[in-house]
Structure 1
Amino acid sequence: MNGTLIFDGGCGFCTRSRNLLTRLDRHGRVGTVPFQEDGVEERTGLRPDQLAASVWWLDADGGRCGGAEAVNSALSAALGTRLPLLVYRLPGMGRLQEAVYRWVAANRYRFPGVTPWCQQHPAGCRPA
């Protein structure tokens, strides 16, 4: 269940969400990396436009998913329970969550957040 969440380090809402996830992760099961970090494209095999469009989850077994499934995977790992993924996989629930995720992702810069990760850690991020 361990893995890495790739998030938008230039987004205050994304950084705030990442911070909440790390607070929930009491056993260190989830790593987080901004997609702006050098080498992320090479390590993940994802194009820059894919990384910018969605959050991504890379599990310890090499699996990869994006969007709401990635959020549920990271939450499952952080909490140490598969319950978020089981709910996501209920009939119709994944489709609903993906639609909500796409809307949130498209509007993420409008939501309240914190100082974006890349402003807090500029040495770890490529310039936009």
Structure 2
Amino acid sequence: MIVVFDGQCLLCNGWVQFLLRHDRSQRIRFASIQSAVGRQLLERAGLQVAGLQTLLVIDGERSWQHTAAILRVLHALGWPWRLAWVGWLVPAPLRDALYRWVARNRYRFWGRSATCMLPAPEHRARFLEQDANL
């Protein structure tokens, strides 16, 4: 499973830090949208970096965006995070409308870093930084 995230967004960086702490199986890998790999993955999913307002999660040949991406990742973390699947009971148009509003305002509310997040040495191997056959 690959999470493609905005490496300059402080909210997104907080999400990645949360996932690093709670992904005990270490099956989640990461690519920032600012990296060549991140741009390649976005392109493959039919998305562009400019104006991007979604998290992209890729698992094999499938991909998810918006709240579906968040719910998929939380499910992958195992218990107790799998309980977030109750979120599927909320209709996607409502969930995703809130998601898009937060995404549009993420820099205003949480801030933006001038540089991309640098992973700690113990997590560096989980970040896709160069072009590869994914």
Where does structure 1 differ by over 4 angstroms across 4 or more consecutive aligned residues? 113-117
What corresponds to 2:53 in structure 1? 53
Please report the TM-score for the alignment, with normalisation by the length of structure 1. 0.74
Corresponding position of 1:32 = 30
For residue 101 of structure 2, what is the aligned residue in structure 1?
A: 103
Q: CA RMSD in A?
A: 2.8
Percentage of identical aligned residues: 28
* Alpha-carbon distance, 1:5 to partner: 0.7
Q: Where does residue 89 of structure 1 map in the other structure?
A: 88
Q: Are 2:57 and 2:65, in contact at CA under 8 Å, matched by a contact in 1?
A: yes
Q: Which residue of 2 aligns with 1:66?
A: 65
For 2:13, give the aligned amino acid: T
- Judged with a 3 Å threshold, the aligned counterparts in structure 2 of structure 1 residues 49 and 112 are, in CA distance, closer, same or farther, namely closer
User: Which residue identity is paired with 1:100?
Assistant: L
Rounded to whole Å, the distance in 1 between the matches of 2:83 and 2:24 is 17
TM-score, structure 2 length as denominator?
A: 0.71
- Could you tell me how far apart the structure 2 residues matched to 1:33 and 1:16 are? 14
**2 CA distance for matches of 1:49 and 1:43?**
10
Which residue in the other structure is 1:9 paired with? 7
In structure 1, stretches of 5+ residues that fail to align are none
Deviations 1:33-58 (A, max 9, x none): 11111133334413324782210010
CA distance, structure 2, for counterparts of residue 87 and residue 50 of structure 1: 32
Kindly tell me the number of residue pairs found equivalent between the two proteins.
Answer: 118
Stretches of structure 2 lacking an aligned partner (at least 5 in a row) = 120-128
Asked if structure 2 preserves the Cα contact closer than 8 Å seen for 1:9 and 1:15, the reply is yes
Structure-2 change in CA distance of 1:8 and 1:88 (3 Å):
same
State whether residues 28 and 78 of structure 1, in contact with CA within 8 Å, keep that contact through their aligned partners in structure 2: no
